[in-house]
Structure 1
Amino acid sequence: MTHPLIEADAAAPAIPVEIVEASGWEALRERLSASERRFADALGFSPKPGRHAILPDAEGGVARVLVGRETGSPEEEAFALGRLASVLPEGTYRLEPTPERADLALLSFALSAYAFTRYRSASMRRARLVAPVGTDVAALARTIDAVAHGRDLVNTPANDLGPDGIADAVVALASRHQAEVSVIAGEDLIARGFPMVHAVGRAADRAPRLADLVWGPADGLKVTLVGKGVAFDTGGLDIKPSSAMALMKKDMGGAAAAIACADMIMGSGLNVRLRLIVPAVENAISGASFRPGDVLPSRKGISVEIGNTDAEGRLILADALALADEEAPDLLVDFATLTGAARVALGPDLPPFMTDDEALAADLARLSARVHDPVWRLPLWGPYDRLLDSKIADVNHISGGPHAGAITAALFLRRFVSAAKAWVHFDVFAWNPSTRPGRPEGGEVQAARLIHALVAERAGG
């Protein structure tokens, strides 16, 4: 398996991209031809992080590229080289010297070159990086393609990606990997025990549904991924202001992350019995909308008082998590664009995760740095459970107060998980507000590469 942005032949002719640090600049400068030195000086090049210079040859082509070395960990330095995707002319290039984490440099380069082209053409740069000897190009290509597909899903507006389209994406994924899949839609959700998925999505003209994919050997590590698939969130009867609705096409970013992660796991052929569950709805407004003050039954048998219809994601996740929990997976992971509180706490780049499993938390922190898929742990602070007390139901699904919104949302979800051997909740933003190396502005797939790395490690892959 190859990729258009990666040259798999390590011996292929290539233009050198010289990674320069201050201590080695003078020696390198002396090795340049006189014309190259004059050109570098005319550009004012200095070997500072983020600086680059493209030096011409005698025929007007590219002779070499100079790039200032980044500072930080080997992972940070390598990932920062992704910025080259936006500056290199067409051609094949080789990083010199080879970065310590060349795999991350190649990944970041390819992810930086991503463009969403469904509605307009985009000029695609044809710069390629040569993969060093020993690089698993096939694995890189699988990751690049899975992330790009997830980004495409997030970037697609709700008029072209409703609950049906989200479920169709799971069905298409199952077809690619020869997995089993089923979709429960509309009134069948009530009959099959998903009353909260139905309640949240029943007001939309596109029926709510739940997609359920199963893949892999029965005796493999039992891993279940759950992704929040809200195609668009108006807020329901507690309607959002227009400014808060502008990016609500990305409210299915949790589903996109779960789909991308499942794609990576299946594509890697890991010894895993994988299950992917995606509840897909549109939180619309009509006479059928669920209301503040309603009490909803749940699959788990817990009665839920509705404090605010704009906190719909945790309701559909609760039914999906209850389904996942019934078979006691070894690892249960949910991804969701769940709370604004998470963004207030950690910003858009750093999704929080919450788990009671200390070994799992340690593994996630370690692997997050290794694969450069940043996350940060928030506590599941038990005393805040009292903030979800209801006077007429088993639980209110929001706290009703201004504090600890990300934590109380996770505590609500925890009530629906009791048998899984380990559970972790990710509150993702699923969007890059601005362009950075490896992360162009627009839809993003957060924590998926991290969970793939965790599953690969635990499954011995």
Structure 2
Amino acid sequence: MNVQFKSSVARATPILALDRAAYQALAPQLPKRTQQWLNTLGFSAAPDTFALVPGEDGKLAQVFAGVAHAAHPYALSALPMALPEGNYTLSPEGLKLQDEAAALSWELGCYAFDLYKARKRAPAQLLVKTSPDGQRGLALATAISAVRDLVNTPAEHMGPEELSRAAAVVGKQHGAKFKEVVGDDLQKKNFPAIHAVGRASTRAPRLIEMNWGSDKHPRLTLVGKGVCFDTGGLDIKPADGMRQMKKDMGGAANVLGLATLIMALKLPVRLQVLIPAVENAIAGNAYRPGDVIKTRAGLHIEIGNTDAEGRVILCDALAYAAEFKPELIIDMATLTGAARIALGAQLPALFARHTDTARDLMDLGFKLDDPMWHMPLWSPYKEGIASSIGDIVNTGRSALAGAINAALFLDAFVPEQQDWLHLDLFAWNDVSRPGRPVGGEAQTIRTLLAYLEERFAA
């Protein structure tokens, strides 16, 4: 950890974290020499900027850092890899950052995926006094970093079996019960859709399951799409479309991150985690366009395109989840390019049975800088996924409303009375920002955690 909880921070270089208003108020009170130095540098406390201020001996005496606001989750993220190596602490002369935001933003600013490429330098260290909120910030950062690591790991080293091991480690850490259904046993246990998508790979498909918590608490089920690599199947993707398909298990990674936080913070829920994990590969036994596949729910899917495989594996997992009648099901999936075209990389699409819930989640997401955007389960479009030879087809009649069509497909496998949220996310940063380097990303898990804490308050 690069945030250290210490009783004494006397030997650390102070950081004055300031928003524009706080800096304008403080600047006239600073020594004239410091004022002139900051003016020369053009420092105005704009977010993600900083200025190094030397002392009379020429050594670094203090750091002025611009932040958006006191609770911003990336308030200090620009600093750890930019400041000289050493120990730093937050000065009481600056804006009083929330302890959670300080710890979270510093740790996220230290993140790098270094499994294959060594770091060029060590991050600077932040020394803070311990607090429950600071510890929570570190817990959030740890979960987010784990999500990023899972998504960033190449498919060669993160196939269905490796994803299963990662889930087992999470479960063991928190005393959860772990089990899985693997390979041809998926047929025997009535998960035929998961089997159909994953059978062409030399790496066996599986349904991963974890259960945690007390029977006296309300049941919550998380379902994550775990396509560890997606060639597109027989409807093969072009090279550009396949390049980043190691990230197609981003829904599963985010579900594991959220589950980790739920268990670490001991939310009063009975948690079930379900991850259908497959590689959508090409071989003589690959499922084909035009095939009709029976599902756990009894519905028959006509395969319009083998590259729409995520919804096919999720339908078995969602049907299984519904059998336990949980109070809430949340599924997370890197499901459609259509959602990215509509909303871009930074804004996951949210589909919900209840509009008031969706609006509450949107408001909460904007407040926490962990956003999502509500899109409709527009029932008139159901005719677009009707099949002439099966109950439903896994592609719409056209490219129009692709994210809605995918959500409506999943909707068919969740009973009408079941409360359910579907998140179509990118799980990837396509541009680098402080605390958010290009690569795998955790999206909406901080917002969902806050929502679940409120909904399932003890």
TM-score interval, normalised by the smaller of the two chains = over 0.9
Give SS of 1:79's match.
coil
Query: Is 2:111 aligned against 1:114?
Result: yes
**Contact 1:102/1:132 (8 A) holds in 2:** no
**Structure 1 35/446 Cα, relative in aligned 2: closer, same or farther at 3 Å?**
same
Specify which of 76, 80, 84 is matched with residue 81 of structure 1: 76
Cα distance in 2 between the residues matched to 1:29 and 1:313: 55
Contact 2:322 2:418 in 1 (8 A): no
Work out whether 1:314 is the aligned partner of 2:314. no
SS across alignment from 1:296:
strand
Change (3 A) 1:163 1:133: closer
Q: Is the alpha carbon distance of 1:389 and 1:440 closer, same or farther for their aligned partners in structure 2, counting shifts above 3 Å?
A: same
Kept after mapping to 2: 8 A contact 1:326/1:419: no
Task: Output the CA distance in 1 between the equivalents of 2:248 and 2:352.
Answer: 22
- Do the aligned residues in 1 keep the contact of 2:386 with 2:392 (CA within 8 Å)? yes
Q: How does 1:188-337 map to 2 (within 5 A)?
A: 188-337=185-334
Partners of 1:349 and 1:170 in 2: how far apart? 26
Whole-angstrom CA distance in 2 between matches of 1:237 and 1:231: 17
Measured against aligned partners, the alpha-carbon deviations of 1:359-412 in whole angstroms (never above 9, x if no partner) come to 422331232134321111101101010100111000111103010000110000
- Deviation of 1:301 after TM superposition, in Å, equals 0.2
Structure 2 residue 58 is matched with structure 1 residue 63: no
The equivalences for 1:354-365 within 5 A come to: 354-365=351-362
Deviation, 1:26, is: 6.4
CA-to-aligned-CA distance 1:5-40 (integer Å, 9 cap, x gap): 223347522433223455665664454445534533
Secondary structure of 1:17's partner? strand
Checking the alignment, whether the CA contact within 8 Å between 2:394 and 2:409 is kept in structure 1 is yes
Other-structure match for 2:433: 436
Over residues 255-302 of structure 1, what are the superposed CA-to-partner deviations in whole Å (9 max), with x where a residue is unaligned?
000001101101111111000000000000010110000000000000
- 1:168 aligned residue: 165
| Alignment partner, residue 19 of structure 1 | 17
Q: 413-422 or 15-24, which moves further after superposition?
A: 15-24
Deviations 1:225-282 (A, max 9, x none): 0000001000000000000111000000000000011011011111110000000000
| Aligned CA distance change for structure 1 residues 296 and 119 (closer, same or farther; 3 Å) | same
* Residue 100 of structure 1, CA deviation: 5.5
Measured after TM superposition, the shift of residue 460 of structure 1 is: 1.3
Q: How many residues align?
A: 455
359, 375, 380: which is aligned to 1:378? 375
User: Are the equivalent residues in 2 in contact too, given 1:213–1:275 (CA < 8 A)?
Assistant: yes
What's the CA shift for 1:133? 7.0
AA aligned opposite 1:36: T
Helix, strand or coil for the counterpart of 2:380?
Answer: helix
Which residue identity does 2:14 align to in structure 1? P
5+ long unaligned stretches in structure 2: none
Residues in 2 aligned to 1:328 and 1:196: alpha-carbon distance in whole angstroms: 21
The whole-number CA distance in structure 2 between the counterparts of 1:111 and 1:322 is 36
Residue aligned with 1:309, SS: coil
Alpha-carbon deviations, 1:321-348, whole Å to 9, x = none? 0000101111100000000000011100
Deviation larger for 418-427 or 44-53: 44-53
C-alpha spacing 1:183/1:388, structure 2 compared with 1 (3 Å): same
- 1:47 & 1:154 partners in 2: Cα distance? 34
Q: Which amino acid aligns with 2:364?
A: L
Contact 1:75 1:369 in 2 (8 A): no
Give 1:107's aligned amino acid.
L
Distance 1:400-1:10 versus aligned 2 partners, 3 A rule: farther
Q: Counterpart in 1 of 2:90?
A: 94
The answer on whether the counterparts of 2:103 and 2:134 sit within 8 Å (CA) in structure 1 is: no
8 Å CA contact retained: 1:79, 1:372: no
1:125, distance to aligned residue in structure 2 (A): 3.5
Q: State whether residues 102 and 134 of structure 2, in contact with CA within 8 Å, keep that contact through their aligned partners in structure 1.
A: no
Percent identity of paired positions between Structure 1 and Structure 2: 43
CA contact 1:255–1:336 (8 Å) conserved in 2: yes
Matching of residues 408-423 of structure 1 within 5 Å: 408-418=405-415, 421-423=418-420
Q: Distance in 2 between matches of 1:341 and 1:447?
A: 19
Give ranges in structure 1 of 5+ residues lacking alignment.
Answer: none
Q: CA separation in 2, counterparts of 1:443 and 1:381?
A: 30
**1:104 equivalent in structure 2:** 101
Give the 3 Å change call, closer, same or farther, for CA 63–174 of structure 1 in structure 2. Answer: same
RMSD after superposition: 2.1
How far did 1:112 drift? Answer: 2.1
Describe the SS at the equivalent of 1:196.
helix
Worse-matched range after superposition: 30-39 or 440-449: 30-39
In 1, distance between residues paired with 2:265 and 2:181? Answer: 28
Q: Secondary structure at the match of 1:159?
A: helix
Indicate the larger mover: 48-57 or 92-101. 92-101
Q: Secondary structure at the match of 1:84?
A: coil
TM-superposition CA deviations, 1:188-241 (whole Å, max 9, x none): 000101101000000001010110100000111211000000010000000000
Q: Secondary structure at the match of 2:155?
A: coil
Report the CA distance between 1:106 and its aligned residue: 2.8
1:148 aligns with 2:150: no
2:44 maps to which residue? 46
In structure 2, relative to structure 1, the CA distance for the partners of 1:30 and 1:367 (3 Å cut) is: closer
Do 1:360 and 1:422's aligned partners in 2 also have CA atoms closer than 8 Å? no
**Alpha-carbon distance change, 213 to 21 in structure 1, aligned in 2, over 3 angstroms:** closer
The residue that corresponds to 2:391 in the other structure is 394
For 2:205, the aligned partner's letter is P
Moved more, 100-109 or 30-39: 30-39
Q: 1-side partners of 2:126 and 2:33: how far apart?
A: 25
- TM-score when normalising by structure 2: 0.93
Query: Distance between the aligned counterparts of 1:20 and 1:268, measured in 2?
Result: 31
